Amino acid sequence: MADRLVTRADRILRTVTGHLGHSDNSPATSQPHSDLSAEERKHAAALMRVNHCGEVCAQALYDGQSVTAHNPETRKILQETSAEEQEHLRWCEQRLDELDARVSHLNPFFYAASFATGMVAGLLGDRVNLGFVAATEKQVVNHLDDHLASLPDPDQRSRAILRQMRDDEHRHGTRALDNGGVTFPTSVQRLMTATSRFMTRTTYHW
């Protein structure tokens, strides 16, 4: 038990501080490095910092949801999705390093809030738990579409990462619904959108 706790604490610490490590299969490797102006580099780095924080939140959500999931099959889906999201986190971390940029100072706060939210979603039952995955992934897809439109044109390495992330997030949401997740009402989705915008606006700068 002590070993498991230490291992989990170490992973959480490396997740929130941006020291999880790089990935060998980042989509960015298929694209050449490009010259960005100082302003383009600053904007691209801020967008990737937002996406990195989003993936930190995803790790926390899935961790919390897995802890309180009722059904072993639901827990398996959450853990498999979390593993794929961890790759996204590594891609974003790697791109931030390439852009000589830092991760968000607010990562610990958003991790804690997301973990608590995930636990509550799990306690409400597996259909709600999976429905929360689907609703969250829908928000993320919309958010990534906005970032793809906003990225500087020369930054094809960041663009390749966000495109692959978008495809993966859409697949995660579809899988959650196919396995019994409920569709959340519009009012709840609007609240989630407002929360997402708060995260985006704060981590863009901090």
* pLDDT for res 5: 62
Read off the DSSP letter of residue 1: -
List of domains in the chain: 2-17+38-205 (1.20.1260.10)
* pLDDT for res 116: 94
* pLDDT for res 141: 94
Q: For the chain (length 206 residues), average pLDDT per consecutive 10?
A: 65 76 87 93 97 93 91 91 90 95 94 93 94 93 95 96 96 94 90 89 93
The SS3 assignment for 22 reads coil
* pLDDT for res 3: 65
64 within 8 A of 37, measured Cβ to Cβ: no
* pLDDT for res 1: 58
Total Cβ atoms within 10 A of residue 169: 25
Separation of alpha carbons 193 and 200, rounded Å: 10
Q: Which residue has the tokens 């974003």?
A: 92
